[in-house]
């Protein structure tokens, strides 16, 4: 019987390995390339980073109070104050163009990774989603790990697709921690998610209405974050999946 040379056996083995690897990783590589090539949004390429600027605005302002919680804003001339028809969100519009929204904490407790049934707090799960980036999205994982990674990238996309965000920050308030999705430099819009020690979630949105030049600054946002707290008449907070997204709600 004729024996194959060792070099041919080696080449055949390497070829089989490559074919197997291509069959296993090929679809994931194509998916990864699609994400990498067609992801123009800055927030898809950025994970949360620490907010270094913590100075707050000292401009004349006022305290807003809704659903048992309060916070300060550096604006005073209210044009309109109202609640959505379903009552889940309080909104106030100022003459300088800022619209501030605060979601009822009793119905804004959605967990972004509840479908994965993994351990951890809502804060941890939101951090995992916001930390998912296309540059960190590897196709060379098991199918299960790749699918989990893709789901988190898609969840992040669903949350932020209308945000116009250019930065994502980790933030710290008085007894609260959370995240700021910021588009101040682009469209004056900011979404804030704060969590207390019991992992209750609080959502605040600030956007600049069309027309006036963008005047909102990070110092303004810092004042909102640093002043947030209960009024002493907090409503009962329960878990809820009634909100379809954490950010990008309006």
pLDDT digit string, tens, across residues 7-41: 655 665 555 555 655 555 556 566 666 666 666 67
CA separation for the pair 127, 110 (Å, rounded): 14
- pLDDT tens by residue, 72-121: 999 999 999 999 988 899 999 999 999 999 999 988 888 877 666 677 88
Sheet holding 49-50, edge to edge: 49-50, 167-172, 177-183, 189-195, 201-208, 98-103, 89-94, 78-83
CA separation for the pair 205, 194 (Å, rounded): 11
**pTM, to two decimals:** 0.81
Q: How far is CA 170 from CA 32, 108, 147, in A?
A: 27, 20, 26
Choose which CATH entry (3.40.1000, 3.30.420, 3.30.160, 1.10.3470) describes domain 44-230.
3.40.1000
CA separation for the pair 124, 130 (Å, rounded): 10
72 forms bridges with which residues in the sheet?
63
206 forms bridges with which residues in the sheet?
100, 190
Q: What is the pLDDT of residue 156?
A: 87
Q: How confident is the model at residue 215 (pLDDT cuts 50, 70, 90)?
A: confident
Lowest-pLDDT choice from 35-39, 55-59, 139-143: 35-39
Residue 249 has pLDDT above 80, yes or no: no
Q: Is 205 exposed, middle or buried (0-12, 13-18, 19+ CB in 10 A)?
A: buried
Q: What is the pLDDT of residue 250?
A: 45
Q: How confident is the model at residue 155 (pLDDT cuts 50, 70, 90)?
A: confident
CA separation for the pair 226, 221 (Å, rounded): 9
């Amino acid at each position: 019987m004729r024996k194959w040379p060792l070099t041919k056996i080696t080449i055949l083995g390497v070829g089989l390995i490559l074919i197997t690897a291509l069959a296993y990783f090929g679809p994931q590589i194509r998916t990864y390339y699609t994400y990498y090539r067609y992801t123009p949004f800055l927030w898809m390429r950025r994970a949360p980073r620490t907010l270094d600027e913590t100075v707050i605005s000292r401009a004349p302002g006022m305290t807003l109070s809704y659903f048992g919680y309060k916070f300060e804003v550096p604006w005073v001339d209210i044009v309109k104050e109202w609640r959505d028809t379903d009552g889940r969100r309080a909104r106030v519009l100022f003459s300088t163009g800022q619209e501030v929204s605060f979601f009822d904490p009793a119905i804004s407790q959605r967990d972004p990774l509840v479908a994965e049934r993994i351990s951890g707090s809502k804060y941890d799960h939101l951090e995992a989603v916001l930390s998912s980036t296309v540059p960190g999205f590897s196709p060379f994982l098991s199918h299960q790990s790749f699918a989990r990674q893709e789901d988190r990238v898609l969840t992040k996309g669903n949350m932020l697709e209308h945000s116009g965000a250019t930065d994502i920050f980790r933030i710290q308030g008085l007894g609260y921690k959370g995240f700021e999705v910021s588009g101040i430099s682009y469209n004056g819009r900011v979404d804030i998610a704060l969590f207390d020690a019991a992992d209750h979630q609080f959502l605040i949105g600030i956007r600049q209405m069309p027309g006036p030049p963008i005047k909102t600054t990070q110092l303004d946002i810092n004042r909102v974050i640093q002043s947030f707290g209960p009024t002493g008449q907090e409503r009962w907070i329960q878990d809820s999946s009634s909100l379809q997204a954490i950010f990008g709600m309006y």
